[in-house]
Amino acid sequence: MTVPIPADGPGEVLVAVRGGSEAYTAWSATSIDRDTRVVVVDSVSARGVIVERLPS
């Protein structure tokens, strides 16, 4: 994650795509700190995703 996701707005995550990484705007039901591994659970647009913390 490159920009933390606050409880009331979007952040930004890097997603592995085609052998590289691309930045996507990301939303979550809970706030998530920077450098936290996440999993994409849904897409809301071509460049927007819903994420959750990656279970450990």
pLDDT one-digit tens code per residue, 9-52 = 999 999 999 999 999 999 999 999 999 999 999 999 999 999 99
24: exposed, middle or buried (Cβ count in 10 Å: 0-12, 13-18, 19+): buried
Tokens at 36, concatenated: 């936290």
Dihedrals phi, psi of 7, to nearest 5 degrees:
-65, -25
What's the confidence (pLDDT) of residue 1?
72
What's the confidence (pLDDT) of residue 52?
96
Question: Does pLDDT of 7 surpass 90?
Answer: no
